[in-house]
Amino acid sequence: MLEPRPEGPKLVSIQVGLPETRGEAGATDPMHVQWTSAFVKEQVAGRVFLSRTGLAGDGQADLEVHGGPERAVLAYAAAHYPLWRKELEMPGLPHGAFGENFTMAGLDETTVCLADTLAIGEAVVQVSIPRGPCWKIARRWQRADLLQRVVENGRTGWYLRVLEEGAVWAGATGRWLDRPCAGFSIARMVEARHSPVAPLEDLEWLANCEWLEHARRERFAQMAARRKGARA
């Protein structure tokens, strides 16, 4: 059952974007070479339709690692922005700066849990997997160390799958529906995936977790098996 909470999280802003090519043709500096991505997103106002595969007006360039039902929406904590603005000395850093579709208040990687389910606007969404940040974060803001900083501080974001389609809008307050994996936060899942000292029990739990897609369960099963082999 869902643990009681004082109020639901708030959808502060919505961002969408389509693939476009940026950079300089023929550039040799890795930070300036041409790249094609939908990472750069703009805020949209009013009602936006959310389908099983994402928001109207949004897209992805690399469909092998972005998009699809398990990555329909990328969410990011609004609480991270004051920290980033100060640390990067960029007071105007806008929501959507980290490529997210939903900027949300009241949640972050330490408090949102795998399979958390909530109604937002007319849609119902469920936490699916942590976001695996990539080089595009550094390229977007021309900060070579930014990707490493995101990984180290854990401000990565998380993905949502869409259980019920419908319109969403900035300012909507989410209503909690279910929390089947209470205590297994996104931060804990990231630690299980990347830390060599993550508890074996966490790996085994994830390997058998019905809320994860098969390929990810298999990955955790292999990690657990290797850990057991190393202990033998």
3-class secondary-structure state, position 37: strand
CA 15 to each of CA 12, 157, 198: distance values in angstroms, whole numbers, following the listed order: 10, 14, 34
The pTM for the full model equals: 0.93
- 219 contacts: CB under 8 Å, gap ≥ 6: none
Two tokens, residue 215: 């390929």
Predicted local distance difference test score (pLDDT) of residue 61: 77
Q: What is the pLDDT of residue 1?
A: 44
Please tell me the total number of residues recorded for the chain in this structure. 232
Which phi and psi (to 5°) does residue 194 adopt?
-115, -20
Q: What does the pLDDT profile of the chain (232 residues) look like in tens digits?
A: 445 454 689 999 999 999 999 988 888 888 888 989 999 999 999 999 999 999 999 998 777 767 789 999 999 999 999 999 999 999 999 999 999 999 999 999 999 999 999 999 999 999 999 999 889 999 999 999 999 999 999 999 999 999 999 999 999 999 999 999 999 999 999 999 988 888 999 999 999 999 999 999 999 999 999 988 876 5
What the chain holds in terms of domains, given with CATH numbers, is: 10-182 (2.40.33.20), 195-232 (no CATH)
The identity of residue 189, as a single letter, is M
pLDDT at 201: 95
pLDDT in the model for residue 30: 83
pLDDT at 67: 79
In angstroms, the CA 184 to CA 192 distance is 10
Cα separation, 86 vs 66, whole angstroms: 29
Cβ atoms of 168 and 56 within 8 Å: the answer is: no
Q: Which residues pair with 164 in a beta bridge?
A: 124
